[in-house]
């Protein structure tokens, strides 16, 4: 009997070790989906909720494993009514959970890019794929200028909104703006410009002599990454229609006045850029997430697999783990090959 008990215990231990080893060896390859620009993900209550630009509606994916988006539950949560200022060109949606409710922010227009503005919908359901989404209207400052690529974040109890916009009414250059928020759908006070294209690597933007305008300098896609006592504003620089689309970084202290442009220090070089040797071009418009066990930091971004593919449907979402430098800043490394077998995010 003791011998049988020992044998049974040994078998159980071997099965547990095998299961543990299998879990540790779980791998994936990029891209996560064949197509999907401006990828965004948020993790809550054991699930990842993912979205990307579709152009005509707002769609959510729900999964416990972000590397398995191809088989995830997928639902269209909102389609705009026809004939409005926000019926077309829905770009860069982001899902946020704020004070017990879900909010999805997005940019949209009436078919004319000059009319792009930021909008938000709200859902009080615990699961954003369930319940009813209510259109809350436009979110913007009093200037009501062109605006895309919205993101929101909280620092020291204050909610802020970030976005990419024009200084005036003409498409000359895209800057990054910040403003305080009174609530998830109301700006409180004036917008403040914290970044404009400054370095050569931020100024690849030729559209051709026949275009109007023929060239645009771009800062867009702002995202906040928090680490210890610092805020890192990671943004996309140069035109997405170029292979030089890359990520730049601004750094500020959590304790600084975030509405003071001098609080933000810009890095002189991109922190993530194309890797022709790895066949990854125009990587950008990212978001961040933690592994399910909270021990790993990951970047989610879109990129092209070949040069010259521009801002179309060839852009696909990719994920890779990143580390931290000794000074506390993120180290994203280089975009990895599609053939690279990557360890999946660490599970609980």
Q: What pLDDT digit, counting tens, does each position of 16-49 carry?
A: 444 444 444 599 999 999 999 999 999 999 999 9
pLDDT at 343 over 70: yes
User: How do residues 254-271 score in pLDDT, each as one tens digit?
Assistant: 999 999 999 999 999 999
- Asked whether 326 and 41 are in contact (CB, 8 A), the reply is no
Q: What pLDDT does residue 5 have?
A: 45
89 is catalytic: no
Strand partners, 324: 330
pLDDT at 7 over 70: no
Please state, for a pLDDT cut of 70, what percent of the chain lies above it.
93
Confidence of residue 348 (pLDDT cuts 50, 70, 90): confident
Average pLDDT, the chain: 94
149 is catalytic: no
CA distance 169 to 112: 13
User: How do residues 214-265 score in pLDDT, each as one tens digit?
Assistant: 999 999 999 999 999 999 999 999 999 999 999 999 999 999 999 999 999 9
CA distance 337 to 31: 9
Mean pLDDT of 164-172: 96
CA distance 67 to 347: 12
HEC letters along the chain: CHHHHHHHHHHHHHHHHHHHHHHHCCEECCCCCCCCEEEEEEEECCEEEEEEECECCEEEEEECCHHHHHHCEEEEEECCCCCCCCCEEEEEEEEEEECCEEEEEEEEECCCHHHCEEEEEEECCCCCCCCCCEEEEECCCCCCCCEEEEEEEEECCEEEEEEEECCCCCCCEEEEEEEEEEECCEEEEEEEEEECCCCHHHCCCECCCCCCCCECEEEEEEEEEEECCEEEEEEEECCCCCCCCEEEEEEEECCCCCCCHHHCEECCCCCECCEHHHCEEEEEEEEEEECCCCCCEEEEEEEECCCCCCCCCCCEEEEEEEEECCCCCEECCCCCCCCCCEECCCCC
Largest CA distance in the chain: 87
Q: Of 89, 149, 202, 220, which residue is the catalytic one?
A: 220
User: How far is Cα of residue 337 from the mean position of the Cα atoms in its chain?
Assistant: 20
The structure's pTM equals: 0.92
Q: What pLDDT does residue 345 have?
A: 97
pLDDT at 317 over 60: yes
CA distance 149 to 118: 8
User: How do residues 148-161 score in pLDDT, each as one tens digit?
Assistant: 999 999 999 999 99
Q: Report strand pairing: 330-331 vs 342-343.
A: unpaired
Q: What pLDDT does residue 114 have?
A: 96
User: How far is Cα of residue 56 from the mean position of the Cα atoms in its chain?
Assistant: 19
User: How do residues 107-144 score in pLDDT, each as one tens digit?
Assistant: 999 999 999 999 999 999 999 999 999 999 999 999 99
User: How do residues 50-68 score in pLDDT, each as one tens digit?
Assistant: 999 999 999 999 999 999 9
Closest CA to 194 of 260, 286, 146, 248: 260
């Amino acid at each position: 009997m003791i011998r049988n008990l020992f044998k049974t215990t040994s078998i159980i231990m071997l099965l547990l070790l095998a299961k543990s080893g299998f879990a540790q060896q779980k791998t994936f390859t990029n891209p996560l989906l064949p197509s999907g620009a401006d990828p965004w993900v948020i993790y809550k209550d054991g699930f990842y909720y993912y979205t990307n630009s579709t152009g005509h509606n707002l769609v959510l994916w729900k999964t416990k494993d972000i590397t398995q988006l191809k088989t995830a539950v997928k639902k269209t949560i909102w389609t705009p009514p026809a004939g409005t200022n926000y019926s077309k060109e829905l770009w860069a949606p982001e899902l946020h959970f704020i004070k017990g409710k879900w909010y999805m922010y997005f940019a949209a227009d009436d078919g004319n890019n000059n009319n792009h503005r930021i909008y938000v919908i709200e859902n009080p359901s615990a699961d954003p794929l369930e319940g009813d989404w209510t259109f809350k209207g436009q979110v913007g400052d009093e200037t009501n200028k062109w605006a895309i690529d919205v993101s929101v974040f909280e620092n020291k109890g204050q909610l802020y909104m970030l976005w990419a916009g024009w200084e005036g009414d003409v498409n000359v250059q895209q800057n990054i703006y910040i403003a305080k928020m009174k609530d998830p759908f109301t700006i409180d006070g004036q917008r403040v410009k914290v970044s404009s294209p400054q370095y050569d690597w931020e100024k690849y933007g030729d559209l051709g002599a026949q275009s109007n305008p023929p060239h645009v300098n771009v800062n867009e896609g702002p995202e906040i990454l928090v680490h210890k006592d610092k805020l890192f504003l990671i943004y996309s620089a140069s035109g997405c229609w170029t292979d030089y689309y890359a990520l730049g970084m601004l750094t500020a202290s959590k304790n600084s006045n975030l509405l003071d442009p001098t609080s933000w220090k810009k890095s002189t070089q991109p922190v993530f850029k194309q890797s022709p040797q790895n066949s990854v071009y125009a990587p950008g418009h990212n978001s961040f997430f933690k592994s399910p066990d909270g021990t790993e930091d990951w970047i989610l971004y879109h990129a092209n697999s070949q040069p010259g593919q521009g801002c179309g449907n060839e852009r696909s979402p990719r994920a890779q783990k990143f580390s931290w430098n000794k000074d506390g800043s993120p180290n994203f490394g280089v975009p990895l090959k599609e053939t690279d077998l990557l360890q999946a995010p660490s599970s609980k």
